[in-house]
Amino acid sequence: METLAHLVQVNGLIDDFLSLSLENQKKSIVQWLNNEQIIEKLMLTDDELLNKSSKTAARIFGRLKLIKNNLDIFNKLIIAETSSIVNVLAAFLLLKASGNSVAEKNTIIDIVTLSESVKDLEELPNLISELIDDPIYRKHLFYRQKLIPMIAKSDTVRRNGRGAESSQEQALGKLYAMLDQFKNKYPELKNLTINGFSGGGAALQRGGGRVTEVAHNHGRAARFYGAKTLGPSLLTIQGHQMQILFSPSSIALQTLQSLVAQNLYARAQTELKPNGEHYVLPRRAPKGYNERKKED
Q: CA 213, CA 138: separation in Å to the nearest integer? A: 31
**Does 116 reside within a domain?**
yes
Q: Is the pLDDT of residue 206 over 60?
A: no
**Does 295 reside within a domain?**
no
Supply the pLDDT for residue 202: 59
More confident residue, 150 or 161: 150
Where residue 198 falls among pLDDT bands split at 50, 70, 90?
A: confident
Q: Is the pLDDT of residue 193 over 80?
A: yes
Where residue 205 falls among pLDDT bands split at 50, 70, 90?
A: low
When pLDDT is averaged across residues 113-120 and rounded to a whole number, the result is: 89
More confident residue, 156 or 248: 248
What values do phi and psi take at 150, rounded to 5? -105, 140
Supply the pLDDT for residue 275: 85
**Does 77 reside within a domain?**
no
Q: Provide the mean pLDDT of the chain.
A: 87
Supply the pLDDT for residue 273: 86
Q: Is the pLDDT of residue 220 over 60?
A: yes
**Does 279 reside within a domain?**
no
**Does 14 reside within a domain?**
no
**Amino acid identity, residue 6?**
H
Where residue 167 falls among pLDDT bands split at 50, 70, 90?
A: confident
Least confident residue range of 4-18, 134-148, 165-179, 197-211? 197-211
Where residue 210 falls among pLDDT bands split at 50, 70, 90?
A: low
Q: What three-state secondary structure class fits 207? A: coil
| DSSP alpha helix (H) spans, the chain | 2-10, 22-33, 36-43, 47-53, 55-66, 85-97, 118-133, 135-144, 153-160, 165-177, 179-185, 213-224, 243-246, 249-270
Q: What does pTM read for this prediction?
A: 0.86
What is the DSSP code string of 85-124?
HHHHHHHHHHHHHTT---SSTT--PEEEEEE-SHHHHHHH
**Does 141 reside within a domain?**
yes
Q: CA 60, CA 49: separation in Å to the nearest integer? A: 14
**Does 48 reside within a domain?**
no
- Structural domain count of the chain: 1
Supply the pLDDT for residue 10: 95
Q: Is the pLDDT of residue 207 over 70?
A: no
Least confident residue range of 24-28, 152-156, 174-178, 274-278? 152-156
When pLDDT is averaged across residues 250-278 and rounded to a whole number, the result is: 87
When pLDDT is averaged across residues 198-225 and rounded to a whole number, the result is: 74
Structural domain boundaries enclosing 121 = 109-270
Distances (CA, A) of 65 to 44, 100, 105, 129, 144: 12, 8, 19, 30, 20
Supply the pLDDT for residue 274: 87
Supply the pLDDT for residue 285: 59
Supply the pLDDT for residue 20: 95
Q: Is the pLDDT of residue 242 over 80?
A: no
Where residue 235 falls among pLDDT bands split at 50, 70, 90?
A: confident
**Does 148 reside within a domain?**
yes
